[in-house]
Structure 1
Amino acid sequence: MRPELSKAAALLLLPLLAACAAVPTPGGPAAPAPQQQPPRSGIPPTTPTPPPSAVFRAPQIMRMPGLERVIEQNAGALIQQFGTPRLDVREGDMRKLQFSGQACVLDVFLYPLRPGAEPVATYVDARRPSDGADVDRAACVAALARR
């Protein structure tokens, strides 16, 4: 056989040989199912370590004209101003008080400024009760305080 012909034959056979090669699957081989171990008597089950405690992060404080009577006030002072909240939600060290009236719904978010401190208002949001559209926060505070 001529050398050019054998090279051509080898090049023609290359795709056929490549087709025979094993192709790995995208996720790798499937892991075998874990085998159930019978419980060992006398050995207590292990307790997972709790996740690390969250690091305290001081909240950002909203600074807008007209909100001075709300921002940095505690829940008691807010209830004195606006009456009984429609909602009082607690999650971790956060507290949300919601006050509502004909003009608007006011959401006040309270967070502690230091670890272990009493939560105070740091952020305020306001909307119309009819359609949820945003309204002026300071105007809502003024409307609800007049009740």
Structure 2
Amino acid sequence: MIRSLTALALAATLAACASTGAPPPSVTARPAPSYTNLGLERVIGQDAAGLSTLFGQPDADVREGTARKLQFVGPICVLDAYLYPQGSGGGEATVTYLDAREPDGSAIDRASCVAALARRNGGK
């Protein structure tokens, strides 16, 4: 009797480990955001003065070495513009990259943020 119970317990344990043959559920990864420069022509390549003309005075101006980050905050979004000197001679720092987010930190299209911030200052 004990052998029967042991064999039955062993069979139940092995049955629990057996595969049903069904494939595991697929995990769909969120696509990486697309970082094109489409719609950013007014900003990429601008110097700090050009950004101030377009958006007004920056809400933050952070410098680290020769790099500079200007931050512009509006009701729709926050835009970080990263300026780096061009060429080996340390020429004028211009925008080479932009990052944008909603005030709560959610993702937002960079071109939409540029357009919204330009409108707040009259789109000069």
**Where on the TM-score scale, by shorter chain, does this alignment land: which range?**
0.5 to 0.7
Q: What's the counterpart of residue 126 of structure 1?
A: 100
Higher share of residues assigned helix: 2
Distance of 1:128 and 1:101 partners within structure 2: 9
Between the two proteins, the alignment pairs up a number of residues equal to 85
Alignment of 1:55-134 (within 5 A): 64-115=37-88, 116-129=90-103, 131-134=104-107
Alignment of 1:43-54 (within 5 A): none
Q: Which consecutive aligned stretches of 4+ in structure 1 deviate over 4 angstroms post-superposition?
A: none
- Shift of residue 63 of structure 1? 5.2
Distance of 2:62 and 2:92 partners within structure 1: 15
The secondary structure found in structure 2 opposite 1:146 is helix
| RMSD, aligned α-carbons | 1.1
- Shift of residue 64 of structure 1? 1.1
Q: With the length of structure 2 as denominator, give the TM-score of the two structures.
A: 0.66
Q: 1:78 to 1:101 in 2, by over 3 A?
A: same
Q: Amino acid of the residue matched to residue 73 of structure 1?
A: Q
* Structure number with larger C-alpha Rg: 1
Unaligned runs of 5+ in 2: 1-34
Q: With the length of structure 1 as denominator, give the TM-score of the two structures.
A: 0.56
Alignment of 1:14-29 (within 5 A): none
Q: What's the counterpart of residue 139 of structure 1?
A: 112
Distance of 2:58 and 2:97 partners within structure 1: 16
